[in-house]
Amino acid sequence: MKAILYIVALLVAGGACYFSLEHARKFEELQVVRLKTIKERDAVLANAYVKEKELKDEKAVLVASKESSEVLTQSIEALKSTAKILERDLAEVNNTRDGQKQEFAELEKTLEEINSILKGLGGDVNLDNLHEKIEQIEEDKKARVVKLDELQVIMEDKQKQLANTRADLDRLNKRDMERSARITRNSMESVITAVNQDWGFLVIGAGSNSGFTPQTSLIVQRDGRLIGRIVPSAIGPTQTVAEIDFKSLAAGVRLQRGDRVMLATPVTN
């Protein structure tokens, strides 16, 4: 009887050791899985923080572009004001020149009348005073001709300044239009209208009419946070089909209708 009890005790002790060892082995396996999961979670969180910082940097670039556009607009307005002043000055010069031309024509007419009178007076007439008057008129005529030439030079200079100002204004307007177009492309944003998780694609409610191209790099946000990236594969005028970059998705995240889609990289200025 004692032998049987010893055998039973040995069997119980052996079973206890076996189950203890098996339990320890399973615990070690679970510990390895747990540590691996924690490491993967930390890597995903670190990547999300990096992407969030990149998004903040891109938004800062966009704000700087808008501020630069405002400065450029102010410069354009200042040039427009300068152009108006030059146009007004040119109009005044033209008016002065026209007045001088009219006075010069009247002077020419007076000289013609005096010459006609002199022809009819004959040689016995004393022309001492009349000669002095004629010399004075001739000198005045010369002075007016010089003044007219000066006004002509001033007018030509004003016209050149106006042409240069208009050229600068056209160039700045072109730069402003190009900058506005780039800012508009930087602010392009749409939403996901349909998602097929099984096939790994989705549909965006914007297309080539909104500036999307096959080379456009897009990111997806939800509640202001980056949750993944997508790659355009087929672009229509009003919608775009894009493939889901599953590697970029945060753990446990699934893209869904209503998520915001925007440019991943702003257009440079």
Cα–Cα distance, 152 to 159 (Å, whole number): 10
Instruction: Name the average pLDDT for the chain.
Output: 76
Cα–Cα distance, 57 to 2 (Å, whole number): 82
**For residues 221 and 91, which has the higher predicted lDDT (pLDDT)?**
221
Q: Which of 176-180, 198-202, 236-240 has the lowest mean pLDDT?
A: 176-180
Cα–Cα distance, 13 to 5 (Å, whole number): 12
Q: By the 8 A CB rule, do 207 and 237 touch?
A: yes
- CATH code of 188-263, in short, is 2.40.10.340
Report the top-level CATH class of 14-187.
mainly alpha
pTM above 0.95, yes or no: no
Q: What local confidence, expressed as pLDDT, does residue 196 receive?
A: 93
Q: What local confidence, expressed as pLDDT, does residue 126 receive?
A: 43
Q: Does residue 204 carry a pLDDT above 90?
A: yes
Ordered by start, the domain boundaries in the chain are 14-187, 188-263
